[in-house]
Every structure is written in C-alpha cells, then in structure tokens.
C-alpha cells in the first residue's frame, strides 16, 4: 500500500481514504471523488487533505463498480440506481 492508502479510526468507526479504496479496487481516485461528491458513499471525513469514508460503504462501492464496469452505467445512471444518502 502506498503512503496515502490508509485505514484509520474516527470516533470508534473504521474509515478508508478514497485513495486507499481506489488502490484496492484498481480505479482512479478522481473517479471515486466524483462518486463521493454525488453522495453515493455516505458521509465522509476530511483527513490530512484527503477524504475518508466508512469501511461499511465498501460493499456499496463494490456494487457501484460492478454496475459501472460490467454494465457500463455512467455516474448519472449510478446516482439514479443507488440514490444519494
């Protein structure tokens, strides 16, 4: 893992940075930032210039990536399918 890919605990809850999630799922961090900005990854926290999202959102992220990669859905369609939280 790179120095930016990190898992951390905030208020007793496990979080992962968007860079860490991007590295794990082999996707560009910029795309995950767009997914996050659409409200599809729950409430995040700013940590040292990065955004961290709850680890509990990783299953949701995996589903979003499946629909994007295997079915070709773009961000607008994913927003309709998954709705923002």
**Could you tell me the CATH number of the domain that includes residue 17?**
1.10.1660.10
Name the average pLDDT for the chain.
90
The two counts, helices (H) then strands (E), for the chain are: 4, 4
- Integer CA distances (angstroms), 40 to 1, 2, 48, in order: 25, 25, 22
Neighbours of 5 (CB within 10 A): 17
Give the pLDDT of residue 3.
45
Is residue 1 in a domain? Answer: no
User: What is the extent of the structural domain holding 19?
Assistant: 7-82
Give the pLDDT of residue 48.
86
Give the pLDDT of residue 1.
44
Compare 8 and 2 and report the one with higher pLDDT: 8
pLDDT single digits (tens) 7-45: 889 999 999 999 999 999 999 999 999 999 999 998 999
Is residue 32 in a domain? Answer: yes
Residue 5 has pLDDT above 70, yes or no: no
């Amino acid at each position: 893992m790179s120095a930016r890919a990190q898992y951390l605990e905030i208020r007793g809850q496990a979080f992962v940075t968007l860079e860490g999630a991007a590295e794990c799922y082999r996707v560009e961090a910029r795309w995950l930032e767009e997914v996050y900005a659409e409200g599809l990854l729950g409430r995040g926290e700013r940590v040292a210039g990065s955004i961290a999202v709850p680890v509990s959102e990783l299953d949701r992220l995996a589903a979003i990536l499946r629909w994007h990669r295997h079915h070709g859905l773009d961000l607008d369609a994913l927003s309709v399918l998954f709705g923002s939280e």
